[in-house]
Structure 1
Amino acid sequence: MSSVFETYIKLGFHHIFDFQAYDHMLFLLALSAIYTLGDWRKVIALVTSFTIGHSVTLALSTFNIIKFDTSLIEFLIPVTIFFTCVTNFFKLKGAATKQHPIWSFHNLMAIFFGLIHGMGFSNFLKSILGRNRQVWQQLLAFNIGIELGQLLIVSIILITGFLIMNLFNAKRRDWIMVLSSAAAGIALILMMETSIF
């Protein structure tokens, strides 16, 4: 069983780095844009909140407890990215000095958006799940893999931000603006490319 568990951890980890499904990486970029390396505890709490959300709908979808319109989910995922970026813009004014609590509205937003992203993950997971009694273990391992991948992504984002702001004297406000604007622009393109339009 351990080999199967490890296999699904790797599948979850590599899936989050799938550049053909980069919308999840884009969401993490938008989610962590307002934070610095010193806020790493808060970012871990955010990522875990997101994981809790997507784990719920991923499980419900995998066991066919909930069903949904795939095209609607493909539209809603970039909507979550765009909305996150918009909230970042409203926080620009106090970005340099504002202290963010470890648990906040941002975490609730991450959980809610995680519910949507979980439905997006489910199509991939359903295509690879085995038909056996180990489905729960495979589901758990897949979520652990995704969590590990997400933590690596936000670590790269935070370290990159630290280097840019300290080596090149970039302002934190400008860093947030660049990341959020880029993510929002790509999210709009992804929204327009869905079958809803």
Structure 2
Amino acid sequence: MSSVFQTYMELGFHHIFDFGAYDHMLFLLALSAIYTLSDWRKVIALVTSFTIGHSITLALSTFNILKFDTALIEFLIPVTILITCITNFFKLKGAATKQHPIWSLHNLMAIFFGLIHGMGFSNFLRSLLGRSSHVWEQLLAFNIGIELGQLLIVTILLVIGYLVMNLFHAKKRDWIMVLSSMAAGIALILIMETSIF
């Protein structure tokens, strides 16, 4: 692995854990809230769907093919979190027994919302790239780093959920409600703090 590739993969990995960009972690929390540890394959598919989405707009933005209003993206990112939480609330009925297919409309939603989040990542990446001749390599490495970081985040969330539901005997429905309500509340605050308002 080249030093350039490794450097940008590490940048992507650490960026997803940057508390200055915690809105992306919050989205992952909302996205995976309805799943349990036994659903890990579905969660990987979901996270990868999100990565596909943000990789597309991240690439388009990096090469200046796609231009957008930064204030609008800062508004739309918490909106994606809020919408995801609202869909979780609609899934509360029967949450304890419902089986989720590996590929579903949830994955399409993750791809679509990933397109929006990719534009949020792009400003950070553009500031790093400059006039590099290894843009494609750096872009790929950065996205792989983000994917690995996202997988670690959802793994931690699934393990915590497993412990809460099995050691403390919390109901799955209640766990989904707590996570989704918390994420929705923070998303509303972020929406109100954007320059659009």
Q: After the TM superposition, which residues 71-110 of structure 1 pair with which residues of structure 2 at under 5 Å, given as runs?
A: 71-110=71-110
Q: In 1, Cα distance between the equivalents of 2:75 and 2:18?
A: 19
TM-score, scaled to structure 2: 0.99
1:190 equivalent to 2:184? Answer: no
Q: In 2, Cα distance between the equivalents of 1:94 and 1:130?
A: 51
1:168 equivalent to 2:161? Answer: no
Structure 2 match to 1:143: 143
What is the CA distance between 1:171 and its match in structure 2? 0.3
Structure 1: stretches of 5+ with no match in the other structure:
none
Q: Which runs of 4+ in 1 moved over 4 A?
A: none
Query: Superposition RMSD on alpha carbons, in Å?
Result: 0.7
CA offsets, 1:123-168, max 9 Å, x none? 0000011412200000000000000000000000000000000000
Q: In 2, Cα distance between the equivalents of 1:83 and 1:192?
A: 15
Q: In 2, Cα distance between the equivalents of 1:131 and 1:140?
A: 16
Q: In 2, Cα distance between the equivalents of 1:132 and 1:6?
A: 15
CA offsets, 1:84-108, max 9 Å, x none? 0000000001100000000000000
- Residue identity in the other structure for 1:116: I
Q: In 1, Cα distance between the equivalents of 2:128 and 2:11?
A: 9
- Residue identity in the other structure for 1:117: H
Q: In 2, Cα distance between the equivalents of 1:170 and 1:116?
A: 34
Structure 1 match to 2:12: 12
CA offsets, 1:39-74, max 9 Å, x none? 000000000000000000000000000100000000
Q: In 2, Cα distance between the equivalents of 1:91 and 1:67?
A: 35
Count, aligned residues: 197
What is the CA distance between 1:170 and its match in structure 2? 0.3
1:155 equivalent to 2:168? Answer: no
Structure 1 match to 2:49: 49
Structure 2 match to 1:2: 2
* SS of equivalent residue, structure 1 residue 170: coil
Q: In 1, Cα distance between the equivalents of 2:94 and 2:112?
A: 25
* SS of equivalent residue, structure 2 residue 175: helix
Structure 1 match to 2:134: 134
Identical-pair percentage: 86
Q: In 1, Cα distance between the equivalents of 2:94 and 2:48?
A: 25
Q: In 2, Cα distance between the equivalents of 1:124 and 1:24?
A: 13
Q: In 2, Cα distance between the equivalents of 1:41 and 1:189?
A: 32
Structure 2: stretches of 5+ with no match in the other structure:
none
Q: In 1, Cα distance between the equivalents of 2:162 and 2:56?
A: 33
